[in-house]
Structure 1
Amino acid sequence: MLYWALVFLVVAIIAGALGFGGIAGTAAGIAKIIFFIFLIFLVLSLIAGLLRRAR
């Protein structure tokens, strides 16, 4: 999932450099959403690992 966030970020940077504002904004928004979903999954995974280790 982090891979897709980075892909959309690169697309946003390239589109922004070429002057495609709408596409850049959309790609950046998608990259942010996917990145935050990835962070939530990371935190949940870390918590689950700590709880499993505590047993």
Structure 2
Amino acid sequence: MLRYALIFFVIAIIAAVLGFGGVAGSMAGIAQILFYIFIVLLVVSVLMNLLKKA
């Protein structure tokens, strides 16, 4: 999932350089949402792993 966030971020950078403002904004928004989902899943995974060992 982090890979998809990075892919959308790179597409947003390229679109911004080429002048496609709307596309860049939407791709950056998608990348941001995917990144936050990844962070939440990472925290849940770490907590579950710590609880399982205890």
Indicate whether the TM-score tops 0.5.
yes
CA deviation string 1:15-38 (max 9, x = no partner): 000000000000000000000000
Q: Which residue of the partner structure matches residue 46 of structure 2?
A: 46
Name 2:29's counterpart in structure 1: 29
How large is the Cα RMSD of the aligned pairs?
0.3
Task: Count residues with an aligned counterpart.
Answer: 54
**Counterpart Cα distance in 1 of 2:2 and 2:53:** 25
Q: Does residue 18 in structure 1 map to residue 12 in structure 2?
A: no
- Uncovered stretches (5+) of structure 2, i.e. residues with no partner: none
Which amino acid is the alignment partner of residue 33 of structure 2? Answer: I
Per-residue Cα deviation, 1:1-55 (whole angstroms, up to 9, x for no partner): 000000000000000000000000000000000000000000000000000011x
Report the TM-score when normalising by structure 2. Answer: 0.99
Structure 1 residue runs of 4+, over 3 Å off?
Answer: none
